[in-house]
A and B are shown apart, each in its own frame.
Chain A
Amino acid sequence: MAELAEVPVPPSGEILAQLGELKRIAIVPSLNEEASVGRVIDEIRAFDPGFDIVVVDDGSTDRTAGIAADRGAHVLRLPFNLGIGGAMQTGYRFAFEHGYDLAVQVDGDGQHDPAQLPAIIGPVLAGDADLCVGSRFAEGSGYQSSFARRVGIRVFAYVVSAVVRQRVTDTTSGFRAVNRKGIALFAADYPHDYPEVEATVMSVKHKLRLREVPVVMRERAGGASSITAFRSIYYMTKVLLAIFVGLFRRYAVPLEEDHHR
């Protein structure tokens, strides 16, 4: 069960020691984040230089890709905007094909603080979870949002919790860690458009163990949120439909280890 505020965050040092030689990668989806992507890369390295970093540039028109490449990150430059779902799956395919054992998602806009990576990595490393999601709705996180978004977040939390029979508070958080099992699943099948909600449901349907841990997110350092108030209604309808239909859908097959392209 996902329990909030009761999961002690392991100290970074302990996590770093456990990471050891594990092949690990940070997937950083970015769309026009030239103001923040460099800092995100630096902060991930500051937490743990052993992390490989792949920036998935989802059709940026600014210097995002150049800045990331200058810092020595792998850059996957999509020829046009695929949306966050298509971009994330590109990162997972990269992670799968290059044999990574652990992947974390860190947004290129700077809202996720790499210093909090130990919180989401901990349960995956300990073998308690296949997918660990950082939730904003822990006590004292002080998360602020627009009214439409708060309603959407509530509805999703309620629906997803009912569907996966486990308490989920933050279905739209993109601050996540997955093990090899999760990488194989997400490389094979990742939802479109506004994917975090569906990805959560999908993982549980595939018997991946889901866990939420409290994290604090920051104000966006740059760029503009991809979700406006008007679009959120459209997305809500679409995602609810997707969850509903997903209940009747056959499971996708995770990629096999000998799969190549």
Chain B
Amino acid sequence: MTPLPVSIAAAVASFLLLLIVFELIRSRRLRERYALLWLLTGAVLLALSVWRGGLNTIASWFGVETYPPAILGAVGALFILVVLLHYSTVISRLSDQNTILAQRLALLEQQQREGVTEPSR
């Protein structure tokens, strides 16, 4: 069985995560589309910390008999992995878009310097 202090600490930590994410969205420092994964992470961790019997059951599925809270760490790590992977895709898209912006800017500057008549389509 999960020691009670561990459950409490985990619950408080995941609740804090949810609170921080909420405040970041509210103050417009985090867009909703990037917050959904964090909210899911916080919600799942909170659920597993509070629902102690459930954590034991899940731990037993994976043969973790000695220390069920290890599952909390594993789930947390899994979510962090997913978030990181998501960020990699976001960064890739941003750098692609950045390239396009720089190219458009160069073309516009050239047009402005040299003057342009009717752009060819």
**Does B25 sit at the interface, judged by CB under 8 A?**
yes
Main secondary structure of the interface of B (DSSP, over half): helix
Q: Are A248 and B26 in contact (CB under 8 A)?
A: yes
Give the contacts of B53-108 with A (CB-CB under 8 A): 96-97, 100-101, 103-104
**Does B32 sit at the interface, judged by CB under 8 A?**
yes
Taking beta carbons and an 8 Å cutoff, which residues of B are in contact with A? 22, 25-28, 31-33, 35-36, 39, 96-97, 100-101, 103-104, 121
Residue in A192, A241, A242, A245 whose Cβ sees the most chain B Cβ within 10 Å = A245
- Among A69, A245, A250, the residue within 8 A (CB) of B25 is A245
Q: Are B26 and A245 in contact (CB under 8 A)?
A: yes
- Among B36, B101, B121, the residue within 8 A (CB) of A79 is B101
What is the distance, in angstroms, from A200's C-beta to the closest C-beta of chain B?
Answer: 16
A28–B31 CA distance with the chains assembled, in angstroms: 26
Which A residues lie within 8 Å of B35 (CB)?
Answer: 241
Q: Are B32 and A245 in contact (CB under 8 A)?
A: yes
Q: Are B26 and A237 in contact (CB under 8 A)?
A: no
Q: Are B26 and A79 in contact (CB under 8 A)?
A: no
A150–B25 CA distance with the chains assembled, in angstroms: 28
Q: Are B31 and A66 in contact (CB under 8 A)?
A: no
Residue of A nearest to B102 (CB): A79
What are 12 A-B interface contacts by the 8 Å CB criterion? Answer: A80-B96, A192-B31, A192-B33, A238-B36, A241-B25, A241-B32, A241-B35, A241-B36, A242-B32, A245-B25, A245-B32, A249-B27
**Does A42 sit at the interface, judged by CB under 8 A?**
no
What is the distance, in angstroms, from A175's C-beta to the closest C-beta of chain B?
Answer: 25
A236–B61 CA distance with the chains assembled, in angstroms: 33
Which A residues lie within 8 Å of B28 (CB)?
Answer: 249
Q: A79 and B100 in contact (CB under 8 A), knowing A192-B31, A241-B39, A242-B32?
A: yes
